[in-house]
Structure 1
Amino acid sequence: MRRGRLGAWAAVGLGAVYLLAPLIATFEFSLRMRRGAYSFDAFRAVFASGKFHQAFLYSTVLALVTIVVAAAIVVPTACFVRLRLPRLAGIVEFITLLPLVIPAIVLVFGYIRLYGSSSVLPLTSTSLGADALLMFGYVGLGLPYMYRAVDTALQAIDARTLTEAAESQGAGPLTILIEVMLPNIRAGVLSGAFLTFAIVIGEFTMASLLDRSAFGPYLQLIGASRAYEPAALAIIAFALTWACLGLIQLVGGAPPAAARR
């Protein structure tokens, strides 16, 4: 028993060192911008940059729009498949997992080919069209995480009984979806939303090839021309990702309102 516990703690310790040592080294390097002393000058330089605010605001707004569109697609689909077409659950799950096996660079080249300036629908020729194309690309990238989170939340509740009870009271499909299902799968939807937000904030390939001023290309641009600011940006991006994961834990641990009652 003691040997097993010591082995487990040793594995946890080695994993922590492997993960935290590079992070600590990056943070320590980001504090060396002022010669001969530790300071937060690199972080101040990053936050004072107008391009940082522009890129971060662009990616944040795009992430929020992506989350809304992804939830509007995934939640009704997952509910309909689970309640009406359970035999198609495996096929739908396979389709939602395709973005994990198709590289983002393949997807974005396909988008450029289909919606380039010489196509019937030239979305890339306008700024709004390129933004919409990038947003739908991010919806595809976040689809596996959003669908799995929502489907897992649906498995944790008795969706069929809740639907039948609502229908017996005269509720329509839209009312059932918004007032019955959504409150009970809130934790799953928010978990998928935070994961999607983390993906959009750090994504580089699609935004770069579509020439969008997103946070990912900004990280690469700063990394190619500066020394200390990229380390500070890496720490900021890491903090954002872990903040999203912390919110997932916080939200995911809260039971649905119906379960509390």
Structure 2
Amino acid sequence: MRSLFRPRHRKPGQDVGQPSQHLANEGGLLPARLALALALLYLLIPLAATLVFGLSGSHGWGDLSSLGAVFGDPDFWQTLLTSLGLAAGTTVLVILLLTPTVYQVHLRLPQVQPLLEALALLPFAVPPIVLGTGLLQEYNGAATNSPLVDLLSLGLVPLLSNVFPLLDLPLLLICAYVIVALPFAYRAIDNSLRAVDVRVLTEAAASLGAGWWRTLLLVILPNIWPGILTAALLTFSTVMGELTLASLFNTYTFPIYLNMTGQNDPHRAALLAVLSFLLTLLCVLGMVPATRPRTGGGRAALPGQIEGAGPR
């Protein structure tokens, strides 16, 4: 009986627990793979059904006349370029406004973070139709001389309205889009800044002679680059799918063109929806390589690696 409980001697290099651990890993990966497959089917089946419906024209399935009509329509290219321009302008403005502001709050004004979070969530409480109506009411030609607009704009709106009307420019619509995309972009940038030690990196860069802007561009920005790209992608996709503000501002954008096409030709509208999805997917795939960690000495710049920075 004693020999039954005697520990067996293992040969050198033999790992008894390795097969069981391998089986446990395989058993844990199976539900994850199954869940991923179900999620992909849930997303791809409606998209495939939309594509099949779009290609089933009057001549049966596989009719490419609707696809040719989409690319041959000049309104398609006009509205697509307009939406791309609005999305690019809004994305650049959001990143330029939020990144230095949130960095400065994390660095020098941490007590203001609750107020900034409340302001960032405020657009959720204001519907786009209310936002657009308010902007049109306050920034039209009759209201630019009001004391409220003069005070809030620091005198810029009355000055600019004497040169050209604001409603004829896409700048006001871009500003409205910035407000709509603010909650998504702020959360992405704020989470990235919380993941790094902003104060230590800034002090180390300052000790090596780097100024505030150089620290932001060469030290902080490379460390929060995935958050910046996430904010840019969320802003871009929000603008590309927004309909209410564009219709209120009488701007002929791609979502309005898609809505009008769906009322007249549902097959073309289905193809446009698939093309819109593919455009967003290409933007995501283009940003994925930039979010991966670099290897082989390609890490983000450290304070000691700042070009031209050294102890004074």
TM range, smaller chain: 0.7 to 0.9
Residue 8 of structure 1 deviates from its aligned partner by 6.7
Residue 251 of structure 1 aligns with which residue?
Answer: 290
* Partners of 2:45 and 2:55 in 1: CA distance: 16
More helix by percentage: 1
Change in CA separation of 1:9 and 1:68 when aligned onto 2, cut-off 3 Å: closer
1:111 Cα deviation from its structure 2 partner: 0.8
1:103 to 127, 130, 135: 127
- Mapped contact 2:233–2:284 kept (Cα < 8 A): yes
Unaligned runs of 5+ in 1: none
Counterpart amino acid of residue 61 in structure 1: G
Q: TM-score by structure 2 length?
A: 0.74
| 2:88 is aligned with 1:64 | yes
Equivalent-residue separation in structure 1 for 2:30 and 2:222 (angstroms) = 43
Q: Hey, what does 1:146 align to over in structure 2?
A: 185
Matched letter for residue 113 of structure 1 = Q
Matched, 1:218 2:257: yes
Is contact 1:187–1:254 with CA below 8 Å preserved after alignment? no
1:234 to 267, 273, 277: 273
Q: Deviations over 1:187-244 (max 9, x none)?
A: 2112211111111111110001100011111111111221311010010111222333
Tell me what 2:12 maps to: none
Percentage identity across paired residues of the two chains: 39
Kindly report which structure 2 residues correspond to 1:111-150, keeping only aligned pairs within 5 A, or say none: 111-120=135-144, 126=165, 129-150=168-189
Deviation at 1:14, TM superposition (A): 5.4
Matched, 1:167 2:196: no
Q: Which moved more, 1:169-178 or 1:232-241?
A: 169-178
Q: Which residue of 2 aligns with 1:158?
A: 197
Q: Counterpart of 2:208 in structure 1: which amino acid?
A: Q
Q: d(CA) in 2 for partners of 1:173 and 1:149?
A: 22
| 1:195 aligned residue (234, 238, 242) | 234
Q: Give, in whole Å, the separation in 2 of the partners of 1:98 and 1:45.
A: 42
Within 1, Cα distance between the matches of 2:270 and 2:48? 11
- Matching residue of 1:42: 66
Q: For residues 127 and 231 of structure 1, do their structure 2 counterparts lie closer, same or farther at Cα, with a shift above 3 Å needed?
A: farther
2:149 aligns with none
Residues 117 and 14 of structure 1: is their aligned pair in 2 closer, same or farther, counting only changes over 3 Å? same
TM-score by length of 1: 0.87
**1:52-79 C-alpha deviation (Å, 9 max, x unpaired):** 1111111111111111111111001110
Q: For 2:113, which of 85, 89, 94 is the aligned residue?
A: 89
Distance 2:130 2:261 in 1: 25
Matched, 1:33 2:57: yes
SS at match of 1:257: coil
The amino acid that maps onto 1:50 is P
Note closer, same or farther for the CA distance 1:235–1:151 as it changes in structure 2 (3 Å cut): same
SS of structure 2 residue aligned to 1:170: coil
Q: Identify if the C-alpha distance between structure 1 residues 3 and 141 changes in structure 2 by more than 3 Å, giving closer, same or farther.
A: same
* Code of the aligned partner of 1:146: A
